[in-house]
Amino acid sequence: DTGVSQNPRHKITKRGQNVTFRCDPISEHNRLYWYRQTLGQGPEFLTYFQNEAQLEKSRLLSDRFSAERPKGSFSTLEIQRTEQGDSAMYLCASSLHGLAGSDTQYFGPGTRLTVL
Amino acid sequence: GESVGLHLPTLSVQEGDNSIINCAYSNSASDYFIWYKQESGKGPQFIIDIRSNMDKRQGQRVTVLLNKTVKHLSLQIAATQPGDSAVYFCAETPRQAGTALIFGKGTTLSVSS
């Protein structure tokens, strides 16, 4: 257990529905990242935050995807109007950035999304 | 393009053998590299990292070697155990550490006893 938690662990939804995932990072970590992983592939970067500021977004993050980290602690990832191609494992990671940090990204267990 | 690849998709070893997992990267500007282990149904687990100003780093039973000349990264696992069976990914950061990681496709390590 890395200390990064994600909820729910599994989500099954019908195409067209909206889903929201939550990530709770390691408490002192100021950076939080979202990745997506499909079967047999490595994780692909989606976006990351430093505190509450979203510093980078991948071109994979379409307009249907939105991520927030309103208080600089937990984060949510929402997918609107889900499509079957959104089926994947959504991974959250956190790191401590700065003079006292190593920037090592520690991952949570992921949320597996299945879109029917 | 900017990608991290692995030489072999699978590696099978006997318990007690030493394992070597290889990775080639294409971006000479990358300055931070990490190895992760991922077991089925779990998130990637940090194993060891190395920065571009080093060519070797050792951990507990693991060693990472970085050859910047040929853009090659390897993970050596000593005395491989059945619990080491997993998918291993190398990842790189083309920019400063603490930003987006780019992962390769992974090598599945199978350890038989």
Residue in B46, B91, B98 nearest the CB of A106: B46
Q: What is the three-class DSSP state of B83?
A: helix
pLDDT surpasses 60 at B4: no
pLDDT surpasses 50 at B57: yes
pLDDT tens for each residue of A66-103: 999 998 899 999 999 999 999 999 999 999 988 766 78
Point out which residues pair with B19 in neighbouring strands: B77
Domains in chain B, CATH or no CATH each: 30-90 (2.60.40.10)
Q: Do A33 and B106 touch (CB under 8 A)?
A: no
pLDDT tens for each residue of B66-104: 999 999 999 999 999 999 999 999 999 876 666 899 998
**What are the residues whose beta carbons fall under 8 Å from the beta carbon of A53, sequence distance 6 or more?**
none
pLDDT tier at B1 (50, 70, 90 boundaries)?
A: very low
As to burial, measured by CB atoms within 10 angstroms (0-12 exposed, 13-18 middle, 19+ buried), residue A66 is middle
As to burial, measured by CB atoms within 10 angstroms (0-12 exposed, 13-18 middle, 19+ buried), residue A70 is exposed
pLDDT tens for each residue of B9-54: 899 999 999 999 999 887 888 889 999 999 998 999 999 999 999 9
Which residue of B30, B39, B101, B105 to mutate against A (max A Cβ within 10 Å)? B101
As to burial, measured by CB atoms within 10 angstroms (0-12 exposed, 13-18 middle, 19+ buried), residue A49 is buried
Q: How near does any CA of chain A get to the CA of B84, in Å?
A: 17
Q: How near does any CA of chain A get to the CA of B9, in Å?
A: 10
pLDDT tens for each residue of A16-69: 999 999 999 999 999 999 999 999 899 999 999 999 999 999 988 899 999 999
**Cα(B22)–Cα(B104) distance, integer angstroms:** 11
Percentage of chain A modeled with pLDDT above 90: 85
Residue in B4, B34, B100 nearest the CB of A45: B100
Cα–Cα distances (Å) from B55 to A33, A85, B24, B33, B69, in that order, read 28, 40, 14, 11, 11
Point out which residues pair with A79 in neighbouring strands: A19, A65
Q: Do B100 and A108 touch (CB under 8 A)?
A: no
Question: What's residue B54's pLDDT?
Answer: 94
Higher pLDDT, residue B106 or A100: B106
Q: Do A95 and B103 touch (CB under 8 A)?
A: no
Question: What's residue B21's pLDDT?
Answer: 95
pLDDT tier at B7 (50, 70, 90 boundaries)?
A: low
Question: What's residue B61's pLDDT?
Answer: 96
**What are the residues whose beta carbons fall under 8 Å from the beta carbon of B19, sequence distance 6 or more?**
B11, B13, B75, B76, B77, B80, B84, B109, B111
Q: ∠ CA(A103), CA(A105), CA(A111), 5° rounding?
A: 155
Contact list in A for residue B4 (CB cut-off 8 A) is 42
Q: How near does any CA of chain B get to the CA of A18, in Å?
A: 24
Per the CB < 8 A criterion, the answer to whether B34 and A104 are in contact is yes
Question: What's residue A94's pLDDT?
Answer: 96
Question: What's residue B8's pLDDT?
Answer: 80
Which residue of B95, B99, B103, B108 to mutate against A (max A Cβ within 10 Å)? B99
**Cα(B100)–Cα(A47) distance, integer angstroms:** 8
Q: How near does any CA of chain A get to the CA of B97, in Å?
A: 6
Which residue of A29, A94, A105, A112 to mutate against B (max B Cβ within 10 Å)? A105
Q: ∠ CA(A2), CA(B84), CA(B61), 5° rounding?
A: 85
Percentage of chain B modeled with pLDDT above 70: 90
Q: How near does any CA of chain B get to the CA of A16, in Å?
A: 26
